[in-house]
Structure 1
């Protein structure tokens, strides 16, 4: 009677944990999805930041080029200023030469013409006195016009250069404003990336806690189920010792029959001696609702950071990360035999590296699709996963 009550308690505990595990699996799935979304947002923000940084560098290059153009324009303006001064000097010299010839004309007659001409207050007024221009030699008139045209041309060129310089300075100001704007955007993206990294870290910690709790619940469920099975087996065989070929000499009850396991060749050594076996190769109930029901390896459950050893000597072919496997290592042992180590918290080898049997290659973790810290160990023969117990 007491045994039945114990079995009832164990059964109730198993059922309650069985109901809790799907909810726990849902939380894990949601947290994993959130982590993927946060990582996607971070990747997008980093891509945008990289594009903005390139844009900023392009703006800086354009500003440097514009500065060079402004300096070149200033040099051209300075040269035109010098040219303008010389043209004005040439014009004045021509005007003085004309005045000397006029003075000569005065001294030799034509008094009225000379007096009117000398009363002119400017070259323009001088030329506007049309009735006297005819008295000036064709040469003098032509030379004066040429000098005046030269002064005008140089002045126009100087004005055009100053306009171009002003436009370049306006462009420089616009580029500076754009540079400030892009720099602000880059700073904002950097802040966003920092916030996302914090959120990713917090989400990862939450995910690990959920996975560890799911693993704990799964272990409790397995232990409760095993206890219930032992109780049922003991209850069913009590009083029937005479009919059981495996009965003990005085107890009247038979011991549970151990499951038949493959006989190992011993070619491979235990990759995680500090752990206990939490799941064997083959069909099983999905742990936490996120594991495979067709288990292709053997699970070694132990604490995060526990050492993982190479099961045999060989060459590391892969050290990578996969969303399902997490951090993992693959070792080729030759003759079509290779081993796979998944969900590592850290890896200590690199692809192409030779390792010896028993060498510490990684640490136990719960990366990827995992309900708690453990090593998922697979053995592959000619590209097909086989039961590791055949080789251990």
Structure 2
């Protein structure tokens, strides 16, 4: 956890010649702490939303299981209803058969001289009326009468059972409808919670990206501060060998190769200027850098873009030496042409060890090749 203090100062804010960048960034511990607190809160909200979703899904799974069981119960109940319908049909057939048998026997009685009873019975409009009339006809067989009543009772009982089963089936179907409604409502809640989670994940991702940027900026500031406060030990060398053209300025880094010239170019590593205001000499860290001409040191400084750098005034022109790892001169010091003044490094806004060399005329950068 970053402590509650400012971890660095303002990174350089002027447009500089080294890489043509302008940086004006203040990274504070509070900024990083606030972002981390925000990420923690977002993570907690995300965890809570996920837990709620898990509970809703568990409820939804339970309802689905209940619906499956209810559907099985409905199917079983419908099978019972079908069986009971078969029983009812059979009972009605038995009842009708018994009724027809009784009529045959009564017809037999009529043919044997009991016509008055037959007329009474045959005029009956229903089985109930028939039985009522039959009470007065003692010639009817007690067995036939009892059997007919028994079949009627069976029919009544089966009808009652069928009605009860229909009622239970209706209750099950209503229960299934309610479960389907609950399922729809829960699914809506689950979908809503999923959208909320997606939004929280997006916000958390953005916050984490901001944290990474702040951490990277803080690390870069720490590196720049370290470069400024601890430039390293400088050990001068005296083995300068002139090389290059016939201009008034000597090659400031004979051991290097030219990696980028003055003028328009693609930005190296996304941090270099596309309008390059100097010449880059690529070499290993620690490679000696020499004064291109005799003059007076006017600036020895460090910033986030130039890194460690030196400016030498030669009267009508000035030369700049940037991204140094160590510097061996001080402000006000007079230096001679070819004097070792610094070593190659990668301080400041640099993608690798090199010397960025500039020539200024009237305060404006010009192509160094005009003077080398």
The aligned residue for residue 94 of structure 1 is: 98
The higher relative CO (CA closer than 8 Å, separation ≥ 6) is in 2
Measured after TM superposition, the shift of residue 22 of structure 1 is 10
Measured after TM superposition, the shift of residue 109 of structure 1 is 2.9
CA RMSD of aligned residues (A): 2.8
**Residues 217 and 53 of structure 1, relative CA distance in 2, 3 Å threshold:** same
Q: Does 1:46 align with 2:63?
A: no
Q: Distance in 1 between matches of 2:98 and 2:46?
A: 77
Map residues 1-392 of structure 1 onto 2, 5 A cutoff: 24-129=28-133, 132=136, 134-224=138-228
Flag structure 1 segments of 5+ consecutive residues without an equivalent.
1-13, 231-392
Q: Distance in 1 between matches of 2:219 and 2:105?
A: 116
Q: Distance in 1 between matches of 2:9 and 2:229?
A: 10
Give the TM-score of the pair, scaled to structure 1.
Answer: 0.50
Q: Distance in 2 between matches of 1:131 and 1:216?
A: 116
Measured after TM superposition, the shift of residue 198 of structure 1 is 0.5
Measured after TM superposition, the shift of residue 134 of structure 1 is 4.3
Measured after TM superposition, the shift of residue 119 of structure 1 is 0.4
The aligned residue for residue 298 of structure 2 is: none
The aligned residue for residue 268 of structure 2 is: none
Contact 2:10 2:26 in 1 (8 A): no
Q: Secondary structure at the match of 2:81?
A: helix
Measured after TM superposition, the shift of residue 133 of structure 1 is 5.1
The aligned residue for residue 273 of structure 1 is: none
User: Looking at CA atoms only, which structure, 1 or 2, has the larger radius of gyration?
Assistant: 2
The aligned residue for residue 305 of structure 2 is: none
Measured after TM superposition, the shift of residue 97 of structure 1 is 1.2
Contact 2:9 2:27 in 1 (8 A): no
Q: Distance in 2 between matches of 1:131 and 1:53?
A: 69
After superposition, give the CA deviation of every residue in 1:17-36 in whole Å (9 maximum; x if it has no partner): 8xx99981112111111101
The aligned residue for residue 312 of structure 2 is: none
After superposition, give the CA deviation of every residue in 1:78-114 in whole Å (9 maximum; x if it has no partner): 1111111110010001111111121122222343322
Q: Distance in 1 between matches of 2:9 and 2:92?
A: 108
After superposition, give the CA deviation of every residue in 1:178-202 in whole Å (9 maximum; x if it has no partner): 1222222221121111111100111
Q: Which of the pair is proportionally richer in helix?
A: 1
